[in-house]
Structure 1
């Protein structure tokens, strides 16, 4: 797993939390991810949205891509398509993705890097595997998270953030058994590089077999753990959680989790998890494909603006990769 690694003994440590004095969050629900096809036909596992989207607020969607070993010619992406009203956060653990958009942002996202795109008022973008991966095949593993924007920021000016793997803040658990990469938000006074409109915290942790990871968590945030690979337990009640499952915590001031003593062959370094949470927006949601607004009328306006070219233009050199989104939204 090329996502950035480090000697945990040299890193800042998370604070030690008292077992008796801390208000630990219990686990409210375990949600299995469902499988979907996206873009040109690549498979994703999606734990949300599901039956109760309010449990994930301010997050809208989490797509787990891979891990998959592509053969030559098998790698696929998501050609040019529009977005409005939220942010997409693409974190690549293994392999690479190329991003291009209508405001000039873009580049190669690879091996622990993150691409943070604020669609806001509207943007067109293109997410494709690099030609080398298409031609030769290879390992690919990544995650895309959609973060909602509140009503007053739905039409904010689009922006792009290129976050390299080395930019993430690195922390260790109390005993050095877990490596935590802070991509966005703040954990125990350490800030991640992602600049957010909506208050969130987004982490990737590798927990060694048998090790425990505990951390303070803002009481006004929700809290979730999604398993990328391996197995462990979550909450003070130690509920089992394995690859492709999401745990939703209840209220409290801290969260705890523990890796199983033995891990499957595809997780040799330990239990690989995403830990995420944010301040709920608690506003009405109207969504249609790539648009997330507050009302049906705003969705209709977004479609009309896209069809009129007001969400941006595909750069001339990329017109050959144009998607069928025009037809889908007519």
Structure 2
């Protein structure tokens, strides 16, 4: 019997002035463990006249994880953080009761040709930490746990798995892994994963029970402890998941919360512009007139 419960395809969406591939939330699967939102950015080539610009916008109730394969993004937030995100590093921003940030092409790249490719992910906070104070953490590529199993290169970008722990300060049991192989390899994960689990194919393909799956797909597992498949040559995948929350979550625009009251409060605070400001930034993204509410079940 197949261990694949659901297949999710990327859907096009616009973020700022940039087209992305939306993976989560999906109408039939709003969350995987605490993972509530995943966008695949690019790959795209930008000319000297084009730049990635997302002006200041707010978040509540989540941690954002930005992980680039190519290119560079300048992150600025209302805590005063200002750091360039480069490929392989982890940008982890926890909004708690409210944070504001901007994401832009760095100044030194704005008049030259450039590329951009990566993942932007939201991880919902557990209910008792939704209103925590915001914080920010940046971890360089060299500090991310990495090892080999056979001919497969593995990175533990966030969370815990295989007896190892990432330095990213997560707030619930989860894992986010990168697996790369240049040759055909069999992967058997056994008891190393827990909770809900999913697999995202960035490049190459995998084979499972006679079926071949290619890029831009998320495969949702029925049981994380029965995960076995073959990675074909030159394949990169991401395995993510963890323990689901007992309560539903609602997503409205950039807000994630366990109650609609928290969402309404955040909407009003953004309309009133009482969220903290990003130093040096005067623009902001207005609250959408119409933005869908998604009730997210466990």
What TM-score comes out, normalization by structure 2 length?
A: 0.90
1:111-148 per-position Cα deviation (integer Å, ceiling 9, x unaligned)? 21110000110001001111333321222211011101
Match of 1:273 in 2: 237
From the superposition, tell whether residues 217 and 106 of structure 1 become closer, same or farther in structure 2 (CA, over 3 Å): farther
| Aligned pairs for 1:8-47 within 5 A | 26-39=3-16, 41-47=17-23
1:183 aligns with 2:160: no
Quick one: distance in 2 between partners of 1:271 and 1:161? 29
**1:314 aligned residue:** 278
Distance 1:312 1:277 in 2: 31
Moved over 4 A (4+): 217-220, 326-330
What is the rounded CA distance, in whole Å, between the counterparts of 2:226 and 2:82 in structure 1?
37
1:255 alignment counterpart:
227
| Residues 308, 230 of structure 1: alpha-carbon distance in 2 compared, 3 angstrom cutoff | same
Q: What's the counterpart of residue 52 of structure 1?
A: 28
| Aligned mate of 1:132, from 108, 118, 139 | 108
2:63–2:92 contact (8 Å) kept in structure 1: yes
Q: 2: distance between equivalents of 1:326 and 1:185?
A: 32
Q: Describe the SS at the equivalent of 1:253.
A: helix
Sort the Cα spacing of 1:167 and 1:219 in 2 relative to 1 into closer, same or farther, 3 A.
Answer: closer
Distance 1:75 1:217 in 2: 44
Contact 2:155 2:177 (8 Å CA) reproduced: yes
Deviates more, 1:295-304 or 1:138-147: 295-304
Q: For residue 218 of structure 1, report the CA deviation from its aligned partner.
A: 5.2
Q: Which residue of 1 aligns with 2:133?
A: 157
Which ranges in structure 2 are unaligned for 5 or more consecutive residues? 292-298
Offset of residue 318 of structure 1: 2.0
Bigger mean CA deviation after superposition, 94-103 or 202-211: 202-211
Structure 1 unmatched ranges of 5 or more: 1-23, 262-269
Whole-Å separation in 2 of the counterparts to 1:328 and 1:163: 36
2:162, 2:192 within 8 Å by CA — same for their partners in 1? no
User: Using the alignment, how far apart are the partners of 1:148 and 1:252 within structure 2?
Assistant: 20
Aligned mates of 1:258, 1:73 — CA distance in 2: 43
Q: State the alpha-carbon separation in 2 of the partners of residues 318 and 25 from structure 1.
A: 51
- Cα gap change, 1:35 to 1:203, in 2 (>3 Å): same
Alpha-carbon offset, residue 272 of structure 1 = 1.3
CA deviation string 1:162-190 (max 9, x = no partner): 011111101212x2x21111111122111
- 1:303 Cα deviation after fit: 1.3
Distance 1:245 1:37 in 2: 19
SS at structure 1 position matched to 2:268: helix
Contact 2:80 2:278 survives alignment (8 Å) = no
Aligned equivalents of 1:220, 1:190: Cα separation in 2: 14
- Residue 252 to residue 286, structure 1, CA distance change in 2 (3 Å): closer
> Does the CA contact (< 8 Å) of 1:93 and 1:113 recur in 2?
no
Calculate the TM-score normalised by the size of structure 1. Answer: 0.82
Superposed CA RMSD: 2.1
1:167 is matched with which residue? 143
More strand by share: 2
Q: Per-residue displacement from partner, 1:13-59 (whole Å, max 9, x unpaired)? A: xxxxxxxxxxx9811121111111112x2111112111123552311
1:195 counterpart SS class: coil
Could you say which residue in structure 2 is the equivalent of 1:15?
A: none
* Aligned residue-pair number: 291
